[in-house]
Amino acid sequence: MSSFPAFNPADFPGEITLDYVIPEAKATFGRLPADLQPELASALARRGIDRLYSHQADSYDAVRRGRHLVVVTPTASGKTLCYNLPVLQRLLEEPEKRALYVYPTKALAQDQLAELSALKHGLPIEIRVDTYDGDTPPGRRTAIREGGHVVMTNPDMLHAGMLPHHTRWRRLFSSLEFVVIDELHTYRGLFGSQVANVIRRLKRICAFYGSSPTFICASATIANPLELAKRLLEEDNVQLVDRSGAPRGERRLVFYNPPLVNREMGVRRSSMLEARRIAAPWIRDGVQTIVFCRSRLQVEVMLSYLRQDLAPRLDASRRVRGYRAGYLPLHRREIEAGLRSGDITGVVSTNALELGIDIGTLQTAVLVGYPGTIASTWQQLGRAGRRSGSVGVFVASSSPLDQFMVRHPEYFLSADPEEGLIDPDNLSLLAGHLQAGLFELPFEDAERLGRADVRELLQLFEEDGSATRSAGRWFWSRQAFPAEELHLRRIAADNVVIIDTSHPRPQVIGEMDQFTAPVLLHEEAVYLHEGAQFHVDRLDWDEKKAYVRPVEVDYYTDALASVAVQVLDTFAGPDGDTLSCSHGELKITSLASMFKKIKFHTHENIGSGPIHLPEQTLHTTGYWITVDDDVWRSLGRETLDHPTKSGNFAGAPGMEAGLQGMAHSLRHVASLHLMCDPRDLGSVAEVRSVTTRLPTVTVYEVYPGGVGFSSRMYELHRELLDDAAALVRECPCLAGCPSCVGPLHLVEGAKGACLKLLSASALPV
């Protein structure tokens, strides 16, 4: 234990629910493949590799036998060699062949470029490896299209930059032998469903040029890697390699639950402040530390905290850096380089760094709040000490999911219950990608897009003029460029550009998607960027421009949005139970109505204001539970019959709060099962729904059309109710708190009512 950076639980007032040392694991080796080109073997030897880990050898064999592959091993187990080795071998055998590597982020592709470039050094032929993304200078693009043996890109670029212009890539597509899809587990939910359709289109283009590539996927640990790979690739001949032969260093894992400061209200000490207390001494002592926050806002706040803690040092702002998706590419590269060189000792990040960028020397990781999935948690904790003894600390926030996880560490250690779910046949996604596919290549009369039957959609397109039939084929017949209108990671088309007006020549400092913007960029918002505060002077919604200027104030802003639901179509249910569940299609409207100004450190509310921005409408799928009217009335009477200790009767308000608590807790446990961010789901409680005319709780998907979560929630109905009840019951608060029933702690009786409602299905109808 002495090799670990210092962390003494006694120094912290909260509860340590897990302090676990993962023992080291010995390596299992396999031989270097017999058919390996001698030059490749000596290139490996130069890097100190004279034999392979067993999973690397297994992967090589599978690929050489022509099978599609999915490799699932922990972080830092040498996963990249699983695909680099067979690819390089094939390129040495036939230098005309090509490979396409797809990474979820540009940064990751950059990093793998360096890795592969080092490996190919000294090979007898010049193997050209390039990244091709939005940052690639136009002058180099032609050379890459013509001569790149291995092209590394991301799904977005493949979707909008390569496939629609495939004739320029004829060289690549006609000789494409391998498609590598790394970080497979990130392709789930909306993004995964989108990428599945991009892969369908990629396979069409390959078929056009007469190639039929082998797919090699690599993934972090999830419950269903093989199923996800089969669904994503729409291939059956997929082999799973999931036994890691790599050794593992000793690692210490700590789960920390900050102390309750108000038991009645279930309020705990801020996870931000506790994480700061843990991370700051390490950073001060030069222990390279990464702090993961859940949101952009948190990153910026944490950044200013940690810099203050280093304050006497003049280089505090250089040694502790923020890293998140909104930063411009050059800026990010610089931070990545600083991490490698050791000039930077602290990094505060959103999950942009979660993916396997190898920055080597980080020793400690602090997670502020539960990252949302077990897979992400392992990855973030795995950031620290890939090679040496290391410490990873998870600091729970008061959120329900965090409290569930921190109280059930066995859930975390034992199994991997999370599944990667995708629905490539989501109608609106399918329609969008069908248009893109039609633009790329005409459809034959009976042709499918992947496995999806698209004949009816094509007829529909013809009716609205997007498609034309000619000579037994369907042709795109609109002026528009469909891939441009379709974003893989979000549905909103136009980003809001953030412009700093304090310079003589205004500067663009970042951008934000249209759905987030009303909440973070409304007028009078304090927007934080790289630790600096900016006041939003004007938000031009029509032009999608936010004009900001730097300010220094002691508060930040937090906006509230109100949400309403309308059921459009019911796919299944109701099943007639006391708590009867259904799933189907919904229309959700959301309106950001006001914001609060919250003081730093004390987190007290020091003012508020209205937000005047258009309502956002969402067309999606969801799952809803109705409460039987008689049961509702009898529970209501029960609640009325029991005066609370303050002597007042908490009647209908208590029941309504209970219903809201039910919505809140269900949403959180559902996200746990679905391996999605709780923010991928929304929930609403209505005492009388316009559609069901009953007390109703709705959990909906925040992506238009949904990506398959709703039907799964419908199937998981029982488990969701049980886990939600456990979450509320086990919470140490007295009468309900934000950690269980949500932000309703001022309504008395909420917790009791919520528990009764969640268990109501045991009651007779």
Least separation in angstroms between residue 208's CB and another protein is: 9
Residue 436 and residue 163 in contact, taking contact as beta carbons nearer than 8 Å: yes
Residue recorded with tokens 């280089």: 315
460 binds another protein (CB under 8 A): yes
What residues contact residue 275 under an 8 Å CB cut-off, 6+ apart?
291, 302, 366, 367, 368, 393, 395
446 binds another protein (CB under 8 A): no
Q: Which pair of tokens denotes residue 31?
A: 């031989």
489 binds another protein (CB under 8 A): no
Residues 632, 637, 638, 643, CA torsion sign:
positive
Q: Which helix (H) or strand (E) holds 684?
A: strand 681-686
Amino acid at 752: G
CB nearer another protein, residue 328 or residue 480: 480
CB nearer another protein, residue 540 or residue 615: 615
Task: Report residue 373: phi and psi, to 5°.
Answer: -135, 155
457 binds another protein (CB under 8 A): yes
- Tell me how long the chain is: 765
Output the DSSP codes for 318-340.
HHEEEE-TTS-HHHHHHHHHHHH
Q: Which pair of tokens denotes residue 319?
A: 């040694």
Residue 92 and residue 37 in contact, taking contact as beta carbons nearer than 8 Å: yes
Distances in whole angstroms, Cα of residue 302 to Cα of each of 5, 34, 305: 21, 52, 5
- Total of residues contacting another protein (CB under 8 A): 46
515 binds another protein (CB under 8 A): no
Give the side-chain half-sphere CA count within 13 A for 72: 20
CB nearer another protein, residue 4 or residue 208: 208
CB nearer another protein, residue 462 or residue 722: 462
CB nearer another protein, residue 404 or residue 439: 439
333 binds another protein (CB under 8 A): no
750-758 vs 717-730: helix axis angle to the nearest 10? 150
CB nearer another protein, residue 198 or residue 579: 198
Least separation in angstroms between residue 425's CB and another protein is: 12
Give the side-chain half-sphere CA count within 13 A for 629: 5
Least separation in angstroms between residue 164's CB and another protein is: 4
d(CA 583, CA 88): 49
432 binds another protein (CB under 8 A): yes
Least separation in angstroms between residue 96's CB and another protein is: 18
CB nearer another protein, residue 331 or residue 448: 448
690 binds another protein (CB under 8 A): no
CB nearer another protein, residue 117 or residue 617: 617
CB nearer another protein, residue 475 or residue 541: 475
Selected range binding another protein among 85-93, 298-306, 440-448, 706-714, rule: CB under 8 A: 440-448
Selected range binding another protein among 50-58, 114-122, 471-479, 535-543, rule: CB under 8 A: 471-479
Which positions from 560 through 579 interact with another protein, judged by CB under 8 A?
Answer: 568-569
d(CA 196, CA 189): 11
Which of 371, 370, 391 lies closest to 382 in space, CA to CA?
391
Residue 244 and residue 57 in contact, taking contact as beta carbons nearer than 8 Å: no
CB nearer another protein, residue 369 or residue 704: 704
Residues 62, 105, 349, 616, CA torsion sign:
negative
Site string for another protein, 383-422 (x = CB under 8 A): ----------------------------------------
Among 482, 661, 706, 752, binds another protein (CB under 8 A): 482
d(CA 593, CA 519): 9
Among 21, 118, 480, 606, binds another protein (CB under 8 A): 480
Question: How many of the other CB atoms lie within 10 Å of CB of 297?
Answer: 18
CB nearer another protein, residue 336 or residue 585: 585
Amino acid at 288: Q
CB nearer another protein, residue 210 or residue 643: 210
d(CA 255, CA 12): 12
Selected range binding another protein among 91-99, 106-114, 459-467, 632-640, rule: CB under 8 A: 459-467
Least separation in angstroms between residue 576's CB and another protein is: 26
Among 5, 86, 164, 245, binds another protein (CB under 8 A): 164
Residue 740 and residue 400 in contact, taking contact as beta carbons nearer than 8 Å: yes
492 binds another protein (CB under 8 A): no
Which positions from 609 through 638 interact with another protein, judged by CB under 8 A?
Answer: 617, 619
CB nearer another protein, residue 67 or residue 168: 168
Which of 635, 640, 673 lies closest to 760 in space, CA to CA?
635
Among 365, 438, 565, 750, binds another protein (CB under 8 A): 438
Q: Which pair of tokens denotes residue 95?
A: 């230098």
475 binds another protein (CB under 8 A): yes
Amino acid at 641: D
Least separation in angstroms between residue 502's CB and another protein is: 29
Among 184, 431, 499, 725, binds another protein (CB under 8 A): 431
Residue 635 and residue 609 in contact, taking contact as beta carbons nearer than 8 Å: no
Q: Which residues bind another protein (CB under 8 A)?
A: 164-168, 170, 427-428, 431-432, 438-442, 456-457, 459-460, 462-463, 465, 468-473, 475-482, 484, 491, 568-569, 585, 587, 617, 619, 704-705
